[in-house]
């Protein structure tokens, strides 16, 4: 039984961690912090947790967090940076769900996040938390920087093609769409029901913060710099990311279906659908699965990969629990066995 | 490990049974029938089940079903009646999710369902499957007639008041609303997304088939015939039933909150919220919980009870699994521990 | 051509006024105010208005507003009170969409709105803006206090019964449900898409601010004080209010259908549906129509009235334009002819 | 006043025609046909039309339709082909909303629609009904084959680039998403609310019937055959199409914003948004507007065009009315002035 701390437990990735960890037989949530909700029981804020948690939110305190075996940061960017050095000075291991330690090029991070990096000395050590790429490094990591939601859906869809050098890496297109929960739980007019329901639009077409993270991962898979156009869209639903990925095949007669099945044969959370399928977000809602299908329309030279995840689960908290399982030697599926509610 | 059969597995209560039973450590789904989908793997029809089931739909066959320890009927009304006598002739026990054996007055059933009853001789033996009322009888039942969705939400909200004789039983009002999944998985124009989304309406105001079932249960609780007006409504969402129940208090200074907490103190699946609360359907989505709150607006003599369930879970398949647990001596919560996905 | 001013044009009732007035051949929107959006073009904030308006938001200024023939207040409560005396000192007429002047009992207003009334001296003069009840008084009113959204749906459904003394006025129940836009356009966690979608709940069961307004109107119709239980609910959709109204018939053999058809025969915006119907909110979305049906379930002594409106149109801005048409002698339907988009 | 007939009035494009034509001062709907609903009043089937239409559905009859000045076909493919020759033998003009006469290559049509063409002799004469491309030809056409929904959104977004030869025509990508109403009003499990709500997926990735229509239009604009990958997606909402269009710029320093503004300067129904904008489907819902924005992410050589329409309006019935206005010399905006309901 390991002791877990959660910093920033009131947001959507925080409550999702609580939901998943309640079903995890090897962990106990010992600390959960929130300045704003200090003293409030977690099941008062989240009635869905009634009967599963009796603890209250507390003010974040490094000393107290250090008594945990592992601490999750479910915070906006900037927060983990500020506490990280102090926390790692203890024996505690950290799984950061924010973007603070994902990008290796510190200048690039500062440019896209528009602020100085608060802990550049730990960036190199941080292990990028995408188990399908980095499983070995995660095992022994002190600090895991969990992959983001869009980056997970796009990378899992494109790396089989890039690793094998089958597509032109300079002409990648990632057309992705996310549910509104991706925008977080902050009070805002833009994310009101009355503003987002029953409508669809692209956003951040000039450039989204996940772009450098995705390019970093794809570049590593390709072994050379990639050219990527990434356009995110906002869906009138709460959870789910779907990526439609276009790339140009440079070799003929490739067995795309076989390639994907082979690449992910042993992955517990990547499900390559039968040929001709179309993954849907509802089938993976609340689960840690990435559902993938690959097409070659009209037998032409465009590969179309379709990839669906739950942005709060495989795109955030589920992936974080998967990393925890890897770090602590548990079966990788522990606590992550649930089935999507359908319909 | 008991062997389970499911008749009519392609509908929404069928797939919900599969979802719940996959997490049940004491059962194995041995047979699942569907004439239309014979030979199709269940995870082909329901991608959310991929990785959890390898079985295929088969044509219903009493002999084969009789090899199961228990058979669920997840069928439209009329189907269970036709097979019941043959099936009970074997040792198999049956949990019927349909309306076939819920109503004790056979003429009343025939009047509301507009057809002759196909198995009147077993109606008296059938045990009404609402554990909060009938737990003892369910334990030894051969045939359990699971309570319907609206009936569950209404009865759990009103019986504490009626059992104690605190309200006028002749003036009960049940204003209820259901998600569209309550209409089932049949092809129909009326239940298309384009017809039901972004709108709200009452339906069946002149009389809904669940009315006699609800009155039967309330009459039993009150110890005298009740007068009930029941108006169902259609919500633009998939799952969930919410009942708003109005009754007239006949005694003064009643501690309504205490009454409900006391009545349901030992019930694992009825959650009486703190005073002043309003249950919401999303907090119980995918779970077997009935979430209840009670109000006395402006201290007047109207008691307002609010009750929320998942129509496919506590209103159907979850309740059926709860009955199974009771019938076979398992812990009543086995397989029913999951937490609602929120947000 | 009359000149119109709108105070508080950035909220949902403000943009709805702009949509309706763009189709009104007799008016010109001369001034629209918003402190927060001063200098911003209205079609920048509301892209749906592109091509229809070129004006910008300005800071509210009584002098400038007084140059209008009529000024709408589309503001939260408290704002109209503060400017009313100054504005009426000019010749300008006012249509207030807020709750500031709806309740005749000033103490009652202060109790429910929890603040001192800012302009008690004009309350008596204000005409309650529900044309189906008050058409004559509206014609010559200087200050119209438009009926609220819930109050419109409930009053139009119950007054035919109360005016004729057909039901027990002490036992009225109004079970109503509103789309999320009723909560306005303020930034809030509670009204985020991720918080309200795919769920349903009651709220304010202990007492909602529209209760005294509704009781005032029903008391007037009944000629005696009424007893009313009013429970509002929140729907996972943007627009629409549906009220399900229960009352106890005190006379036998009433032709309810005929009563309603007769009461509203000449009303351009009340549509009594054929017997046996169920109004739906989508059929009146974006229109000024109140769609009504009346039922007497199982021929018992409970009358069930179903009433549907668009909360932002007949429940707010459409009703305000209807009042404007009455005040200025235009055909009452001017600018209010559009048909709901269906599906 | 011209007389209008509608064949196939019960589907979604049929009711949309009725909504639009009710606001058209120059037309009278004289005939509306439906075999299934013969004798039913249109406002019984569509309550939103109450008060606007008194006519009933009749069985289709060429003689009776020929008395109309113009006949709309709002039918599935195959129906217009069967009646066209007989109808055009009279003086009646026809606007066909189906796919029957859109594709000039008859073999190609037969291949994608998997049936012999029923009226090949009129294909050459049919004028493709996309006014922004074909206005002059539409004026005098006897038979207009209205552009489809996806084809309208994709062509309006790409033709400015192709006409000017600014992009590589062999590498076009159209990623599009449609509301569920695009699937029509037929009873089907796949389009139930419970199947499509709260989820997102691609469909028809191997090839969609609109592909040859789109390629035909783009080829004409480019003056050479184009290579196009087209992947449609299904949105959990009723109305709206959004296309995200990727192409590779072959010249440097292009003023994309100026190009689009210039191309559509005089078009009443194409709204080029300010630089940096993202069109949303809700802003054009119920209107005939195509809202467009163009981006060049990170100043690279990929042009990203975003295009939003209402699939039933500019994508079908609104475009048909626009064609009618052109054919009969009315102001092109007649009957098409309404503003989207927002929020």
Phi, psi of B59, rounded to the nearest 5 degrees: -70, 135
User: What average pLDDT does chain D have?
Assistant: 97
Could you give the angle at the alpha carbon of C45 between the alpha carbons of C44 and C46, nearest 5°? 90
Q: With pLDDT > 90 as the criterion, what percentage of chain B qualifies?
A: 99
- B48 and B22 in contact (C-beta within 8 Å)? no
Q: Do D194 and B238 make contact, defined as CB atoms within 8 angstroms?
A: yes
Tokens coding D181: 């109403």
Per-residue pLDDT of A322-335, as tens digits, reads 999 999 999 999 99
Q: Which fold has domain C2-125?
A: Rossmann fold (3.40.50)
Set of chain B residues whose Cβ sits within 8 Å of the Cβ of A273: 47
Ranges for all domains in chain A classified under CATH 3.30.360.10? 150-311
Contact between chains at A338 and B282 (C-beta distance less than 8 A) = no
CA distance C134 to C138: 6
Quick: pLDDT tens for B38-57: 999 999 999 999 999 999 99
Strand partners, D7: D33, D73
Q: What is the pLDDT of residue C334?
A: 98
D185 to B197: CB separation less than 8 angstroms, yes or no: no
Average pLDDT of A56-80? 96
CB spacing of C297 vs B343 below 8 angstroms:
no
**Nearest chain A CA: its distance from D64 CA (Å):** 40
Report the share of chain A in percent with pLDDT over 70: 100
Query: Are residues C15 and D273, on separate chains, in Cβ contact within 8 Å?
Result: no
CATH code for the structural domain at B150-313: 3.30.360.10
Q: Which residue of the set D68, D119, D146, D149 is catalytic? A: D149
Beta bridge partners of D292: D272, D307
In this prediction, residues B217-228 reach a mean pLDDT of 98
Q: Are B79 and B98 in contact (CB under 8 A)?
A: yes
> Which CA distances in Å does D85 have to A229, B120, D39, D40, D128?
49, 61, 27, 28, 18
Identify the helix (H) or strand (E) that includes residue D68.
Answer: none
Q: Taking CB atoms and an 8 Å cutoff, what residues of chain B touch C276? A: 206
Determine the Cα–Cα distance for residues C53 and C69; give it in Å rounded to an integer: 19
The full DSSP string for A73-111 is: E-S-TTHHHHHHHHHHTSS-EEEE-SSTTT-S-HHHHHH
Structure tokens at D297: 């992410």
Distance (Å) of CA A244 to CA A185, A230, A255, D234: 26, 10, 19, 13
Residues of C in contact with A10 (CB under 8 A): none
Alpha-carbon gap: D128 to the closest alpha carbon of chain A (Å): 25
pLDDT tens digits for range B112-162: 999 999 999 999 999 999 999 999 999 999 999 999 999 999 999 999 999
Residue-wise pLDDT tens digits, B275-310: 999 999 999 999 999 999 999 999 999 999 999 999
Q: Which residues of A touch B (CB under 8 A)?
A: 12, 15, 19, 22-23, 46-52, 181, 185, 197-198, 238-239, 271, 273, 277, 279-280, 282-286, 291, 337-343
pLDDT digits (tens, 9 = 90+) for A146-177: 999 999 999 999 999 999 999 999 999 999 99
Handedness of CA D247, D250, D256, D259 (dihedral sign): negative
Positions in chain C whose pLDDT score sits under 50: none
Q: Which of C189, C184, C183 lies closest to C12, judged by CA?
A: C184
Chain segment A206-218, per-residue pLDDT in tens: 999 999 999 999 9
User: May I ask the CATH architecture of the domain C150-310?
Assistant: 2-Layer Sandwich (3.30)
What pLDDT is recorded for position C286? 98
**Strands of the sheet with B27-33, listed across from one edge:** B27-33, B2-7, B70-73, B93-96, B143-146, B127-129
For chain C, give every residue range classified as CATH 3.40.50.720. Answer: 2-125
User: Quick check: C202 and B278 CB within 8 A?
Assistant: yes
Nearest CA in chain C to B236: C236
DSSP C97-150: -SSTTT-S-HHHHHHHHTS--S-GGGTTTPEEE-HHHHHHHHHT-SEEEE--HH
Q: Which residues of B are catalytic?
A: 149
CB of A9 closer than 8 Å to CB of A42: yes
CA nearest to A342, candidates B43, C27, C161: B43
Structure tokens that stand for B6 in this block? 């499911």
Note if C119 is an active site residue.
Answer: no
| Nearest neighbour of D191 by CB, restricted to B183, B186, B193 | B193
What SS3 state is found at C2?
A: strand
The 10s digit of each residue's pLDDT in B179-213 is 999 999 999 999 999 999 999 999 999 999 999 99
CATH class name, domain A150-311: alpha beta
Alpha-carbon gap, residue C267 to C283, rounded angstroms: 18
C209-244 residue pLDDT tens? 999 999 999 999 999 999 999 999 999 999 999 999
**pLDDT tens-digit profile of A5-34?**
999 989 999 999 999 999 999 999 999 999
**D31 vs chain A: nearest CA distance in angstroms?**
33
What average pLDDT does the segment A45-49 reach? 95
The shortest CB-CB distance from B189 to any of D181, D185, D238 is to D185
Whether residues A235 and D236 touch (CB distance < 8 A) is answered with: yes
The verdict on a CB contact (< 8 Å) between C23 and D271 is no
Q: Spell out which residues of chain A touch residue C202, defining contact as CB-CB under 8 Å.
A: none
**What's the rounded mean pLDDT across residues B74-91?**
95
ipTM of the complex: 0.97
CB C294 within 8 A of CB C271: no
Taking contacts as CB-CB distances below 8 angstroms, the residues of chain B near D179 are 194
* Domain boundaries for CATH 3.30.360.10 within chain B: 150-313
Average pLDDT over residues A229-251: 98
Under-70 pLDDT residues of chain D: none
What pLDDT, on a 0 to 100 scale, did the predictor assign at position A215?
Answer: 98
């Amino acid at each position: 039984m390991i002791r877990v701390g959660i910093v920033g437990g009131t947001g959507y990735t925080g409550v999702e961690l609580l939901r998943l960890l309640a079903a995890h037989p090897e962990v106990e949530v010992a600390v959960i912090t929130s300045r704003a909700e200090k003293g409030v029981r977690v099941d008062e804020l989240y009635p869905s947790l009634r009967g599963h948690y009796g603890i209250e939110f507390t003010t974040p305190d490094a000393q107290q967090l250090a008594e945990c075996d592992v601490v999750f940061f479910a915070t906006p960017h900037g927060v983990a940076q500020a506490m990280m050095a102090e926390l790692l000075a203890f024996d505690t291991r950290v799984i950061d769900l924010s973007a603070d330690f994902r990008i290796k090029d510190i200048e690039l991070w500062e440019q896209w996040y528009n602020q100085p990096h608060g802990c550049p000395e730990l960036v190199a050590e941080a292990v990028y938390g995408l188990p399908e790429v980095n499983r070995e490094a995660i095992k022994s990591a002190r600090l895991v920087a969990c992959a983001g939601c869009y980056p997970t859906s796009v990378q899992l869809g494109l790396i089989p093609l890039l690793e094998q050098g089958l597509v032109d890496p300079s002409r990648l297109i990632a057309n992705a769409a996310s549910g509104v929960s991706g925008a977080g739980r902050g009070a805002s007019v833009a994310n009101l029901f009355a503003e987002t329901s029953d409508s669809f639009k692209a956003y951040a077409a000039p450039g989204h913060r996940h772009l450098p993270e995705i390019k970093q991962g794809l570049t590593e898979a390709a072994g050379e710099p990639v050219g990527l156009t990434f356009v995110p869209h906002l869906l009138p639903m709460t959870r789910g990311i779907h990526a439609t990925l276009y790339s140009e095949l440079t070799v003929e007669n490739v067995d795309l279906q076989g390639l994907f099945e082979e690449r992910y044969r042993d992955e517990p959370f990547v499900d390559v659908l039968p040929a001709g399928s179309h993954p849907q977000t509802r089938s993976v809602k609340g689960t840690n699965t990435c559902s993938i299908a690959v097409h070659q329309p009209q037998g032409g030279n465009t590969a179309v990969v379709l990839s669906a995840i739950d942005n709060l689960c495989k795109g955030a908290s589920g992936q974080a629990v998967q990393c925890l399982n890897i770090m602590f030697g548990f079966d990788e599926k522990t606590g992550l066995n649930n089935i999507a509610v359908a319909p």
